[in-house]
């Protein structure tokens, strides 16, 4: 199967924050392509740079953060390309929502309590010169699609909606201007199981009916396993493995992905022997030498301490940055047996 057109192409992107002790290297040399119609999931532990990377993609970083280097190329539906870093503020404002929208981590609780859902719809419409009645019509359609009572929700204040309803409102609003890409940062974290289920089902339905790509951020491997086409594992600000979901899960080639899966309980797996990863994620102000995972890695040897592994293609679209990717793969195959 030939992959579709590339929508986002990111190359050697590095992002840092200024902090008292020095610069926090939150994202380092990240490169990836998001293809049309695909769902790309970033997984990894807290603090590995998932949110920073995605905020950086849309230049929505907080003040302390800055893009140090790299390129972010976006391709419009008509084939025209832009460099996101070169957009003026005005151009960027038009780009957001219309081309790419983002549902932020924690957005659930940060909705402005004095604005009705309808105000949010009209504000967005005004900023993008969309007719009010057209915006309302489209919002009502989208609310029905995410299984909400459109009319009731349209006039509601955030506090009148449950967490799951708010998350679905945000999802619907993110599609208001028919963007090509939506970025969702931990949309199902901190919601209940059945609520998470309804959000996932709604997202899957929307993807079947409408045409857009998704970047999905989650520390929950199970959610990524379910909805991602492509999975990228991040560790200490870097993409350490990336590939089709089945490759990354069943034929893991990076010791970190391997270890994460080895620590993840699965409901239907019966009595499981699991292993946690020793230590904790490294300091991003003075990250370790070589492979940043080496201090916690059961596969590590001298070369891992001295030399940083490069992200190289293993097979097809499957990449890993691990000196011992063959040993990891062999061990993973013993565990999975598929």
Q: What's the closest the beta carbon of residue 300 comes to Mg ion, in angstroms?
A: 27
**How many other CB atoms are there within 10 angstroms of residue 67's CB atom?**
18
In angstroms, the CA 93 to CA 95 distance is 5
Q: What's the closest the beta carbon of residue 137 comes to another protein, in angstroms?
A: 24
In this structure, what DSSP letter does residue 150 have?
Answer: H
3-state secondary structure of 82: strand
Binding mask 211-250 for ligand ATP (x = CB under 6 A): --------x-------------------------------
Q: How far apart are the first and last CA of the chain?
A: 22
Q: Is 43 in the site for ligand ATP (CB under 6 A)?
A: no
Our CB check for ligand ATP shows the closer of 11 and 219 to be: 219
Q: Which of 20, 21, 46, 337 contacts ligand ATP by CB under 6 A? A: 46
Maximum Cα interatomic distance, the chain, rounded to a whole number of Å: 65
Q: Is 249 in the site for another protein (CB under 8 A)?
A: yes
Q: Is 282 in the site for ligand ATP (CB under 6 A)?
A: no
Exposure class string for 259-288: b at 16+ Cβ within 10 A, else e:
bbbbeeeeeeeeeeeeeebeeebbebeebb
Q: What's the closest the beta carbon of residue 240 comes to another protein, in angstroms?
A: 13
Q: Which stretch binds another protein (CB under 8 A): 102-110, 134-142, 198-206, 207-215?
A: 198-206
Helix axes 132-145, 163-174, angle to 10 degrees: 130
Q: Is 266 in the site for another protein (CB under 8 A)?
A: yes
Chain residues in the site for Mg ion (CB under 5 A): 51, 105
In angstroms, the CA 172 to CA 7 distance is 21
Subset of residues 62 to 81 that bind ligand ATP, contact rule: CB under 6 A = 62, 64-65
Are the beta carbons of 241 and 254 closer than 8 angstroms? Answer: yes
Are the beta carbons of 225 and 34 closer than 8 angstroms? Answer: no
Q: Which of 52, 124, 252, 257 contacts ligand ATP by CB under 6 A? A: 52
Question: Could you tell me the CA-to-CA distances from 39 to 133, 144, 205 in Å, in that order?
Answer: 31, 23, 13
Q: Is 302 in the site for another protein (CB under 8 A)?
A: no
Q: What's the closest the beta carbon of residue 205 comes to ligand ATP, in angstroms?
A: 27
Subset of residues 88 to 117 that bind ligand ATP, contact rule: CB under 6 A = 105
Question: Could you tell me the CA-to-CA distances from 279 to 128, 152, 282, 293, 295 in Å, in that order?
Answer: 48, 50, 9, 10, 8
Binding mask 176-195 for another protein (x = CB under 8 A): ----------------xxxx
Q: What's the closest the beta carbon of residue 131 comes to another protein, in angstroms?
A: 32
Query: Binding residues for another protein, per CB under 8 A?
Result: 45-46, 147, 162, 164, 192-198, 200-201, 219-223, 225-226, 245-246, 249-250, 259-261, 263-269, 271-272, 274-278, 280-281, 338
Query: Binding residues for ligand ATP, per CB under 6 A?
Result: 17, 19, 24, 26, 44, 46-52, 62, 64-65, 105, 219, 284
């Amino acid at each position: 199967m030939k992959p579709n057109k590339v929508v986002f192409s990111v190359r050697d992107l590095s992002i840092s924050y200024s902090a008292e002790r020095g610069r926090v290297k939150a994202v380092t040399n990240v490169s990836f392509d998001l293809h049309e119609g695909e769902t790309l999931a970033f997984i990894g532990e807290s603090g590995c740079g998932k949110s920073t990377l995605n905020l950086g993609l849309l230049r929505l970083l907080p003040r302390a953060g800055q893009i140090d280097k790299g390129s972010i190329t976006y391709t419009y539906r008509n084939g025209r390309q832009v460099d996101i870093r070169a957009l003026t503020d005005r151009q960027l404002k038009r780009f957001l929502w219309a081309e790419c929208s983002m549902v932020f981590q924690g957005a659930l609780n940060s909705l402005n309590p004095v604005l009705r859902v309808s105000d949010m719809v009209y504000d967005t419409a005004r900023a993008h010169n969309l007719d009010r009645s057209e915006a309302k019509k489209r919002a009502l359609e989208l609310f029905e699609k995410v299984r909400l009572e459109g009319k009731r929700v349209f006039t509601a204040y955030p506090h009148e909606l449950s967490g799951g309803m708010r998350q679905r409102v945000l999802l619907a609003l993110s599609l208001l201007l028919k963007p090509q890409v939506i970025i969702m940062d931990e949309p199902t974290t901190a919601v209940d199981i059945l609520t998470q289920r309804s959000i996932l089902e709604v997202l899957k339905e929307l993807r079947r009916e409408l045409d857009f790509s998704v970047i999905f951020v989650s520390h929950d491997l199970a959610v990524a396993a379910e909805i991602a086409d492509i999975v990228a594992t991040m560790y200490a600000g870097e993409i350490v493995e990336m590939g089709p979901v089945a490759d990354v899960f069943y034929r893991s080639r990076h010791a970190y992905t391997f270890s994460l899966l080895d620590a993840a309980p699965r409901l239907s797996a019966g009595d499981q022997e699991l292993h946690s990863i020793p230590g904790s994620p490294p300091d991003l102000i003075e990250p370790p030498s070589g492979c940043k995972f080496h201090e916690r890695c059961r596969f590590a040897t001298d070369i891992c301490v001295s030399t940083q592994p490069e992200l190289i293609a293993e097979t097809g679209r499957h990449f890993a940055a691990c000196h011992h990717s063959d040993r990891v793969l062999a061990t993973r195959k013993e565990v999975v047996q598929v």
